[in-house]
Amino acid sequence: MKKNYLNSPWRVRCLLFLIVSCSILKARADRFPFIAIYSGANEVPANASTGGGGIIGVYDDATNTIYYNIAFGGLSAATTAAHFHAPAGPGVNAGVTLAHVGFPTGVTTGNYTKIDVFTDAQETNLKAGLMYSNIHTSAFPGGEIRAQIVLGAASTEIYTFKRTYSGANEVPANASTATGTIMGAYNAAINRIFYSIEFSGLSANAIAAHFHAPAMPDTTAPVTLGNAGFPTGVTSGVYRRTNVFNDVQEKYLLAGLMYSNIHTTLFPGGEIRTQIFFDAPFVAPVVTCPANITVSNDAGLCSASVAFEATVTGSPDYFITYKVDGKVIFPGYIFPVGTTTVKATAINGGGISTCSFTVTVNDTEAPQIYDLKTDPVVLWPANGKMRIIKVTTGTFADTLSADTLNIIDGVTDNCPGPINCVLSVISNEPVNGVGDGNTSPDWEIINNHIVKLRAERSGTGTGRVYTITMRCTDLAGNTSEETTTVTVPHDMSVKSSANPGRLGENTLAVSVYNNPTKNYFTLSVEPGTRSENVSVRLFDMTGRMVEAANSSSQIIRVGSTLGAGIYMAEIRSGDKVSLMKLIKLE
């Protein structure tokens, strides 16, 4: 009884090739799919064989290359050979035009994949429908089953490739001298790939080969599809196969994110590798990096968030990555101070392109000096003696973070590294002024926290003011400075006192030096008259508070930022309050 292969699994496999999907790329109309069914009824003369099968593939007339797979079974006797025959239409015999070299013999069921290049005459016969494939057996030496090859309509969804293996393509690269090629075609309408691998010169026996995805050429990925039946235990060989990809595998393949890897006993992770990129109509991307970028650090940080974008041409759509030292980054990445090289890589199914650019972040932020002050701020009596002055910096605001700032002795910087601070002293009076005793030097800098100042002033002046400056420079050369002053009054009569009467144990006694003044007022709470912090509030003549201070020190300096005018000072310690009138001059 004749077996109807059109109602068998062979028919199901073959009809898969008739599935049509939307085109994902525009291509030249020079690639043709085909499908044909083998049967004994197609032989001339026909026979009653129940064997059957199918031949499926694509033809590229730009390169005269045919990619095909033959699956057969149920033959009445062992195979002896198979060939393409031409020129002959259905019902006519012809001689062999091309043998199916390596076709499995001595079997009744099998599978065969091959890539061949036709002559122009063979192509003419193929396109005219005058070529058939014939499988010969010992029972039917003239042919047991036959299939006539008829090309389908030109397809824009068939893509070809040819790539070269090398050890340099492995990650990490190796020094293997082995080589090889993989060539094939992919029919996106039915997710089927036809390919042939030829390899030689392996340093050790092959143990496996696979498709891996998703991965750029400089990364690795897990196996996405094994090359079943790949020759093992050899250092050279040929392997031909057809597979059907799932949609995810197809996505990786067409995006250029799939590679073929041949593994050996010496290199179990892979001895030679190649990325799968397609020929035209795919156009490899060309990536152009932006010009080198230079920016200043973000405020308070030793870094900067930088936007950037490379431009890319190519077809189809590309996938782009940016990397710093192998780490993937994105636009808006936070770059540290210094120069960083960014590598941009664009890839699609047609190839890969790279470029690089630099991002330089300059530290342009100076150190910050917090609350520079001295103890004491007034030297009296003016007896010409050298006095030790403590120079200190205050505490930090709650918003400052020691995790992100470089903090050294009350000076902060946005970047790590040494901060070099230097003290200097100047005076508004000469070292040897009139009536000051003519002693020198009048100041000595011990270190960044201690200076010695001479308690003397000119006998004809209004008082001496020492200005102490702290100048700090960070590793990038950014500099800042702050100043504070120490006063030697001309006469302690230049002071105002609150509660000038007899002092009791808990009486708050306060004096103010240089009142009136053009600069600032120095409030002195007499020693031994308080046990709590002192708070000071200044009010203008409308009753509006214009300044407030709080200190545990007996010396408080206020009013340096006030304009000329009359102010009332409220000095409070615990439940004791003193009021004083202060006059600020132009």
**Out of 2.60.120, 3.30.70, 1.10.10, 2.60.40, which CATH number does the structure's domain 158-275 have?**
2.60.40
C-alpha to C-alpha distance for 113 and 55, rounded to whole angstroms? 9
Cis peptide upstream of residue 367 (ω within 30 degrees of 0):
no
Q: What is the mean pLDDT of residues 29-36?
A: 88
Amino acid 451 reads V
Sequence spans of domains, the chain: 9-19+27-149, 158-275, 283-362, 368-489, 495-584
Characterize the bridge pairing of strands 283-288 and 338-348: unpaired
What's the pLDDT at 213?
A: 98
Q: What is the mean pLDDT of residues 535-551?
A: 88
What's the pLDDT at 406?
A: 60
CB 59 within 8 A of CB 114: no
Characterize the bridge pairing of strands 463-473 and 479-489: antiparallel
CB 377 within 8 A of CB 554: no
- Dig out the tokens for 6 from the structure: 């059109």
Q: What is the mean pLDDT of residues 390-399?
A: 63
What's the pLDDT at 518?
A: 86
What's the pLDDT at 516?
A: 86
Residue 493: partners with Cβ closer than 8 Å, 6 or more residues away = none
Q: Answer whether 0.85 is exceeded by the pTM.
A: no
C-alpha closest to that of 270 among 408, 413, 165:
165
C-alpha to C-alpha distance for 584 and 586, rounded to whole angstroms? 7
C-alpha to C-alpha distance for 286 and 318, rounded to whole angstroms? 10
What's the pLDDT at 526?
A: 66
Q: Is the pLDDT of residue 401 over 60?
A: no
Q: Taking the mean position of all CA atoms in its chain, how far away is CA 329?
A: 1
Residue 199: partners with Cβ closer than 8 Å, 6 or more residues away = 165, 178, 179, 180, 181, 206, 236, 237, 262, 272
C-alpha to C-alpha distance for 86 and 96, rounded to whole angstroms? 7
Question: pLDDT tens-digit profile of 339-388?
Answer: 999 999 999 999 999 999 999 999 999 999 988 888 888 888 888 899 99
C-alpha to C-alpha distance for 131 and 361, rounded to whole angstroms? 69
Question: pLDDT tens-digit profile of 147-164?
Answer: 999 999 999 999 999 999
Q: What is the mean pLDDT of residues 164-181?
A: 98
C-alpha to C-alpha distance for 245 and 186, rounded to whole angstroms? 10
What's the pLDDT at 514?
A: 81
What's the pLDDT at 496?
A: 57
Question: pLDDT tens-digit profile of 76-94?
Answer: 999 999 999 999 999 999 9
C-alpha closest to that of 363 among 198, 267, 477, 485:
477
Residue 120: partners with Cβ closer than 8 Å, 6 or more residues away = 64
Q: What is the mean pLDDT of residues 119-133?
A: 97
Does 2.60.40.380 match the CATH number of domain 495-584?
yes
C-alpha closest to that of 482 among 376, 316, 374, 371:
371
Q: pLDDT-based confidence at 28, cuts 50/70/90?
A: very low
C-alpha to C-alpha distance for 442 and 456, rounded to whole angstroms? 8
User: How many CA atoms are closer than 13 Å to the CA of 382, on its beta-carbon side?
Assistant: 22
| Cα Rg of the chain, angstroms | 46
Which of the residue ranges 118-132, 281-295, 515-529, 533-547 would you say has the lowest mean pLDDT? 515-529
Question: pLDDT tens-digit profile of 257-311?
Answer: 999 999 999 999 999 999 999 998 999 999 999 999 999 999 999 999 999 999 9
C-alpha closest to that of 385 among 453, 449, 459:
453
Q: Do domains 158-275 and 283-362 have the same CATH topology?
A: yes
Distances (CA, A) of 218 to 45, 406, 457, 564, 584: 58, 38, 76, 72, 73
What's the pLDDT at 439?
A: 73
Q: What is the mean pLDDT of residues 446-453?
A: 92
Helix, strand, coil percentages, rounded to 5, for the chain: 5, 45, 45
- Dig out the tokens for 124 from the structure: 């003419």
What's the pLDDT at 166?
A: 98
Which of the residue ranges 69-78, 147-156, 449-458, 527-536 would you say has the lowest mean pLDDT? 527-536
C-alpha closest to that of 71 among 153, 129, 5, 155:
5
Q: pLDDT-based confidence at 507, cuts 50/70/90?
A: low
DSSP string for residues in 473-488? E-TT--EEEEEEEEEE
Gap between the terminal Cα atoms of the chain? 124
Range among 104-108, 155-159, 455-459 rated most confident:
104-108
Residues of the chain above pLDDT 70, percent? 87
Q: Which residues of 57-70 are buried (b: 16+ CB within 10 A; e: fewer)?
A: bbbbbeeebbbbbb
Amino acid 182 reads I
The domain made up of 283-362 has a fold known as Immunoglobulin-like (2.60.40)
C-alpha closest to that of 151 among 129, 132, 133:
129
What's the pLDDT at 408?
A: 60
Question: Which helix (DSSP H) or strand (DSSP E) does residue 254 occupy?
Answer: helix 247-254
C-alpha closest to that of 420 among 375, 473, 379:
473
C-alpha closest to that of 372 among 465, 482, 519:
482
C-alpha to C-alpha distance for 181 and 212, rounded to whole angstroms? 16
Q: What is the DSSP letter of 567?
A: E
At 469 the three-state DSSP class reads strand
Q: What is the mean pLDDT of residues 183-212?
A: 97
Question: Which helix (DSSP H) or strand (DSSP E) does residue 15 occupy?
Answer: helix 9-15
Q: What is the mean pLDDT of residues 57-65?
A: 94
Distances (CA, A) of 142 to 3, 88, 290, 465, 549: 20, 15, 68, 121, 113
C-alpha to C-alpha distance for 421 and 399, rounded to whole angstroms? 24
What's the pLDDT at 4?
A: 36
The domain made up of 9-19+27-149 has a fold known as Immunoglobulin-like (2.60.40)
C-alpha closest to that of 208 among 233, 236, 180:
233
User: How many CA atoms are closer than 13 Å to the CA of 166, on its beta-carbon side?
Assistant: 7
